[in-house]
Amino acid sequence: MLEQSQSLPEFAYLLLFGISALCCFVSLHRVASIEHDDTRRGLYWLLLASGGWAVSHVGYLAAPTMGLQYAFFVIGLCIGIAAVGPWLYFCSAYTGRSLHRNGTVRRVAIGVFLVIVALKVTNPIHGWYFSAEPATFPFPYLEIHHEPLHWVVMAFAYALSFVGFFMLLELFVRVSFDTRPLFALVALTGVPVVFDVFGAVSTVLVDITYSPVGVAAFAVGVCYVHFDRLQLVRMAGETDDPVIILDDRDRVRDYNAAALESFPSLVDSIGTPLEEQLPTVSSTIESSDPLLETVDATEPTFYRVSVNPFSADRTRIGRAISFTDVTSRERYRRKLEAKNERLEEFAGVVSHDLRNPLTIAQGRTQLAIAEADTDHLDAVVDAHDRMEVLIDELLSLAREGNSIDEVERLDLSTVARRSWEMIDAGRAELVLETDREVAIEADPERLRQLFENLYRNALEHGGRDVTVVVGELPDGAGFFVEDDGTGIAPERRSEVFDTGYTTASNGTGFGLPIVEEIATGHGWTVRATAGRDGGARFEVAVPPDSRTVARSTSPPSEET
């Protein structure tokens, strides 16, 4: 039995590690408010391990027997090496890295940890790690003499801990927020290393690991003094976009360099209501449209504004306003809108200025036929009919250039069959060649029009007795429409999609360009090639996210 002492040095050590354990455990309540899951998980286990480590030190110094002191010391050794894992997990997660999620890294870490723990626990057998003997200065306790293996493991643990410090410091240097308080807290966490070394080389301090004290100081600092800054710096590290921090009253609390560059009026704005400093930003974050337009000396810049509230103990303490530059995307969108408006205007002009006179001419022609039926008037009727077809296809070509905004899940065979029923096929035959039910994401009306134009092309070039086959491309990569007509010469296949190109006397040259526009609008591609019977074959390639294939319960169908 060692004689217990109530000396001041012993009391100071017990108080130091007791307070350290208390700080770690009490801070766990605040850690639960951290929004980022992995950061919260890593810091939680770090504080739990460090608190347990400090408790083991208290037991080591205060236990009444040498056996209990020895046991508490070994427990502390095991918890101490275990604390390195949560520290690296926290640093990796907080700085946006993925090391903590790497399965190989995890398995290696667990393996190394188990080997080190085994060496520590079996020290009474081999004596490679430490030896112990009673000591009386500065108070009665079990003095530890470290063996070479201890220093190897200690150097390894310090090296790993330094990796975590490097991750944090690299983040603090990179982000444009004021990270000096967090920098100081991280540096404070490493200060106990000095006491570790001093205790090992002198008799002034007890040779014990003081790291729990540094972690306790870090815990109090980040959880109760700079809690919101801890979260904001992590958020800022994920993006180089402008970020403005508001308090719970929407006053400017902080901002990064990117925000100051984008909004120069933020200079000296700390403590000023956002509504006064940046009224356009204030109105944007309160509106349903998160798009913000700013105008500088050259041209407007567009930002997508997002608001991220942050809280502590379920109480909102502020908001982080981030701005994502979407200028290129917004300009492209507006250019498309302007193009579509011009196309609609063009379509309106074609529809009104050409169709109205055509309607009048058709009416007059019918009256003339009723009064004097001649072959010349029949030719006029044919010309009028051709003009009407041209107008319809020209309007269709103009409108099909628009992008597809809404699609539905459609059965390809059903659409192909119903499209065939909408044309005057005569004696021609349609064969649906597939043993699958092919579901495709498409605009119903435009997909129907695509099929109709391909069918009409087959009838125009293959004759009224042509056979048209619709089937699925290999591996479900899309679908094809082919006929057994005369086909397309290889050197002409790249020209058939040119507007106005046709080899048929009654063709308009618009049908296949319309097909290409519809395919492009869906994000598909279409190409002309040779059919199996020498006719024309058109293959439409559909990306995987626009198609789904399920085995059909019925045999392939044929429709005429």
Q: What is the pLDDT of residues 81-93, one digit of tens each?
A: 999 999 999 999 9
Q: What is the pLDDT of residue 378?
A: 64
The three-class DSSP label of residue 34 is coil
Residue with tokens 């022609």: 365
The more confident residue out of 57 and 385 is 57
The three-class DSSP label of residue 391 is helix
- Mean pLDDT of all residues belonging to the chain: 82
Mean pLDDT of 210-233: 88
Residue 236 has pLDDT above 80, yes or no: no
Residue 2 lies in a domain: no
Which range (11-20, 213-222, 453-462) has the least confidence?
453-462
Q: What is the pLDDT of residue 391?
A: 63
Q: Pick from 383, 400, 417: which residue ends a domain?
A: 400
The more confident residue out of 389 and 294 is 294
Q: Pick from 188, 217, 236: which residue ends a domain?
A: 236
Residue 533 has pLDDT above 60, yes or no: yes
* CATH label of the domain that carries residue 309: 3.30.450.20
Residue 153 lies in a domain: yes
Band (pLDDT 50/70/90 cuts) for residue 3 is very low
Mean pLDDT of 538-559: 59
Residue 168 lies in a domain: yes
Residue 44: which residues within 8 A CB-CB, separation 6 or more? 28, 31, 32, 86
Residue 28 has pLDDT above 90, yes or no: yes
Q: Do both 15 and 85 map to the same domain? A: yes
Rounded Cα gap, residues 445 and 448, in angstroms: 5
Residue 511 has pLDDT above 80, yes or no: no
Q: What is the pLDDT of residue 360?
A: 62
Query: Any idea of the CA torsion for 495, 500, 505, 507, to the nearest 10 degrees?
Result: 100
Residue 74 has pLDDT above 80, yes or no: yes
Q: Do both 90 and 59 map to the same domain? A: yes
Query: What is the tally of structural domains in the chain?
Result: 4
Rounded Cα gap, residues 39 and 11, in angstroms: 35
Q: What is the pLDDT of residue 34?
A: 86
Please choose, from the candidates 448, 442, 445, the residue with its C-alpha nearest in 3D space to the C-alpha of residue 408. 442
Q: For residue 458, which amino acid is it?
A: A
Band (pLDDT 50/70/90 cuts) for residue 485 is confident
Q: Do both 249 and 355 map to the same domain? A: no
Q: Do both 153 and 19 map to the same domain? A: yes
Q: Do both 438 and 497 map to the same domain? A: yes
Q: Do both 412 and 453 map to the same domain? A: yes
Residue 418: which residues within 8 A CB-CB, separation 6 or more? 448
Residue 117 has pLDDT above 80, yes or no: yes
Q: Do both 424 and 493 map to the same domain? A: yes
Range picked from 125-134, 194-203, 230-239, 263-272 for highest mean pLDDT: 125-134
Q: What is the pLDDT of residue 293?
A: 83
Mean pLDDT of 43-68: 95
Mean pLDDT of 241-247: 84
Mean pLDDT of 268-294: 86
Residue 7 has pLDDT above 80, yes or no: no
Q: What is the pLDDT of residue 36?
A: 85
Q: Do both 440 and 491 map to the same domain? A: yes
Rounded Cα gap, residues 215 and 36, in angstroms: 20
Mean pLDDT of 409-413: 90
The more confident residue out of 90 and 178 is 90
Cis peptide before 273 (omega within 30 of 0): no
What share of the chain has pLDDT > 70, as a percent?
A: 80
Neighbour tally for 295: CB within 10 Å: 8
Residue 9 has pLDDT above 80, yes or no: yes
- Host domain of residue 120: 8-236
The more confident residue out of 553 and 285 is 285
Residue 369 tokens read as: 């036929």
Q: What is the pLDDT of residue 296?
A: 67
Residue 379 has pLDDT above 50, yes or no: yes
H-helix or E-strand containing 194?
helix 192-201
Residue 442 lies in a domain: yes
H-helix or E-strand containing 537?
strand 536-541
Band (pLDDT 50/70/90 cuts) for residue 456 is confident
Q: Pick from 216, 236, 256: which residue ends a domain?
A: 236
Residue 312 has pLDDT above 80, yes or no: no
The answer to whether the predicted template modeling score (pTM) of the entire model surpasses 0.75 is no
The three-class DSSP label of residue 535 is coil
Residue 264: which residues within 8 A CB-CB, separation 6 or more? none
What share of the chain has pLDDT > 90, as a percent?
A: 33
Q: Do both 230 and 156 map to the same domain? A: yes
Q: What is the pLDDT of residue 84?
A: 96
Residue 1 lies in a domain: no
Which range (106-120, 305-319, 394-408, 506-520) has the least confidence?
394-408
Neighbour tally for 57: CB within 10 Å: 29
Q: How does DSSP assign 245-265, residue by residue?
A: EEETTSBEEEE-HHHHHH-GG
Q: What is the pLDDT of residue 551?
A: 38
Q: Do both 314 and 338 map to the same domain? A: no
Q: What is the pLDDT of residue 425?
A: 82
The more confident residue out of 22 and 202 is 22
Q: Do both 40 and 179 map to the same domain? A: yes
The three-class DSSP label of residue 451 is helix
Residue 71 tokens read as: 């046991």
Neighbour tally for 364: CB within 10 Å: 11
Mean pLDDT of 234-258: 80
